[in-house]
Amino acid sequence: MDAKTFGNEKSMRFNPIKDKAAEIIEWFLSNIEGNVSDDVLFKVNLAVEEAVQNVVDYAYENGLGFLEASVKFTDQGVLVIKIIDGGVKFNPLDASDPDITLSATDRAIGGLGIFLCKKLMDKVSYSYENGCNILVMEKTIK
């Protein structure tokens, strides 16, 4: 693990990520400082849990790869969370939203985690650059 700080941005690289979902999630939460309401913190926590768990479970065979995590606050009061991995190319935003009007037994498996991320956060974006998946989630805190 390598920790770095750039201005108000903090980042950490976890490698390998196998069995480290809880540690990665805890790192995110411990680096969200300032006057953040319990409601916003709950939403961010759930979105981070879903996104990190997906990378840990599906990005690499046997969890043998890295996850780079970063947190920053903009001057406009926006919390920006970035998750970068070098695993299998996968854009979670390409998937259709699940039909939550159906019962759990009638609904297709998968897709609920990223759906929650999109609903809980103000903005979620994805890009693929230099062989890496980059997921950015933003939440206004002011």
pTM of the entire structure?
0.85
Q: CA torsion, points 80, 85, 91, 92, in degrees to nearest 10?
A: -70
Please, which residues bridge with residue 82 across strands?
Answer: 70, 136
Residue-wise pLDDT for 82-99, tens only, equals 999 999 999 988 876 555
pLDDT at residue number 101:
55
pLDDT at residue number 95:
72
Residue-wise pLDDT for 7-30, tens only, equals 588 999 999 999 999 999 999 999
Where do the domains of the chain lie, and which CATH numbers do they carry?
2-140 (3.30.565.10)
**1: DSSP letter:** -
Most confident of 59-63, 114-118, 128-132: 128-132
CA dihedral sign of residues 109, 25, 92, 76? positive
pLDDT score of 67 more than 80: yes
Measured CA to CA, the distance from residue 131 to residue 86 in angstroms comes to 6
Contacts of 135 (CB under 8 A, 6+ apart): 51, 82, 83, 84, 92, 124, 125, 126
Contacts of 128 (CB under 8 A, 6+ apart): 89, 91, 134
